[in-house]
Amino acid sequence: MQNPDYPKHYCGVFGIYGHPNAAELTYFGLYALQHRGQESAGIASCDGKQFRVHKGMGLVPQVFNGQILHGLVGKMAIGHTRYSTQGSSHVRNAQPLAVDCARGQIAIAHNGNLTNASQLREELEANGSIFQTTVDSEIILHLMAQPTFNGRGNDLVQTIRRIEGAYSLVIMTEKELIGVRDPHGFRPLCIGKKDDAYVLSSESTALDLIQAKFIRDVEPGEIVIINEEGLTSVQAFPEQTRRAFCIFEYVYFARPDSNIANRSVYKVRVEMGRQLARECPIDADIVVPVPDSGNCAALGYALESGIPFEMAFVRNHYVGRSFLQPSQLIRDFNVRVKLNLIHDLVKGKRVIIVDDSIVRGTTCKSRVNNLKEAGAKEVHVLVSCPPHMNPCVYGIDFPDRSKLMAANHSQEEIRKYLNADSLHYLSKDGMVKATGLPKEGFCMACYDGNYPVPYDAALDKHIIESRKHRVSSLAEAVAHEKSQIELL
């Protein structure tokens, strides 16, 4: 069940070159990356001559079975697990996307969001390109399918230099596996090896599952080309020095058992909790996390403050999509069905509840009410990141400003809405300090409004509206033509 009060993940990508069980290993890689997207999954394999693709809506084990994987033959494969940030949730938008063009067969899986997608699509359509999906990833395929692209060297560099925004890509041609990371490094992508096979993955946790050795992260702006000669590297943006890795990977998105930029995500989150305790000391009896997103930060707060840590909320790991809308039967069902509270642990206690973010606030309010209904004397809400003030245009489903609670209400107003005795956020400096990395290397636009890659929302809206007008005009023209034929 997807909680609407939490930001949704973007996507996970995976690729492997040179293993006889490439599709099966890709399946397990996607399984480890399932947290990055739960709407659709897909795998494309290649035996050196022919592409085979299977994709569908749902979780990885719902889309694939042994028979399907057995049919995805070849020593090379790429995979994708998706949450829709651009393009609707429909099977035609599931990835990897594959084409057979004059340049040969090409498949792509994309994690991120292109900020100049509308402009590029407008240009491509004006030149005769016909799009089959509504995802920005298809734009990259169209650029690559043009006659100048051959999958190598400078032609690929020039193709990549045309797109802007956030992207980590795994690309498969008939002979090569290619990994690409945008020049700012918004999204993670790492390289591993399993025996003699090379692996590309959004997170290192997928390498652990298939027992592959972590080699290194793909550098921002780097293109890695893997073929029978081994791995070669091309820096597509040597002039780019500004880095902007999404700090929310450390706060929320990445799995705690992943390592990013030589930092353990688990340790960073524990340190965020410790920093929260230093900045916001509270006299309380217990520290309670919101599972699973608040576990690490709550542990850090408890360790630093000396206040006992209690798992008072018990998570139901078997919650799926409900076909009932039981609001008339059970109040707050969609919140309560996921987490149940152990009343005896909180009754008569002063409780600190720790979570990693508050976006809309409705779920947090229900948690506070649960605690008070169970007899908690006080409930203090602590958040292991700063208030979200701005939408994300690089692939995270943060809503527009009108739906971001902190962008429209003061901290005291939010506290009252939550029915909490106090509300505290980790500072921006404290969040960065917990990573042990320089502030200049992060994108923190959702907190501070500093967008590393410009985004013209007005132009984007204009192009989308003009496309709708063209479609409407075309439909009218077809209807008019049809009526003339009927008159004849």
Q: Which of 11, 280, 385, 392 is catalytic?
A: 11
Measured in degrees and rounded to the nearest 5, phi and psi for residue 148 equal: -80, -15
Where is 443: in which H helix or E strand?
strand 442-443
- Name the DSSP letter for residue 307: P
Q: Which residues contact 333 (CB under 8 A, 6 or more apart)?
A: 322, 326, 327
96: preceding bond cis by omega (within 30 degrees): yes
Taking alpha carbons only, the member of 100, 121, 276, 245 closest to residue 174 is 100
Tokens 């995805």 found at: 72
What are residue 54's DSSP bridge partners?
A: 43
Helices and strands, counts by H and E, the chain? 18, 23
CA within 13 Å, CB half, 432: 15
| Three-class secondary structure of residue 472 per DSSP | helix
CA distance 339 to 347: 17
What are residue 171's DSSP bridge partners?
A: 108, 178
What is the DSSP code string of 413-427?
HHHHHHT-SEEEE--
Classify each residue of 301-336 as buried b or exposed e, where b means 16 or more C-beta atoms within 10 Å of its C-beta. bbbbbebebbebbeeeeeeeeeeeeeeeeeeeebbe
Where is 268: in which H helix or E strand?
helix 265-279
Work out the number of other CB atoms within 10 angstroms of the CB of residue 241: 10
Measured in degrees and rounded to the nearest 5, phi and psi for residue 216 equal: -175, 170
Task: Report whether 428 contacts 445 (CB < 8 A).
Answer: no
Task: Report whether 313 contacts 337 (CB < 8 A).
Answer: no
Q: Give me the helices (H) in 114-198, please.
A: 117-126, 137-145, 153-160
CA distance 390 to 290: 24
Where is 486: in which H helix or E strand?
helix 457-487
Where is 194: in which H helix or E strand?
strand 190-194
392 is catalytic: no
47: preceding bond cis by omega (within 30 degrees): no
- Name the DSSP letter for residue 309: B
Amino acid identity for residue 300 in this structure = G
Q: Which residues are catalytic?
A: 11
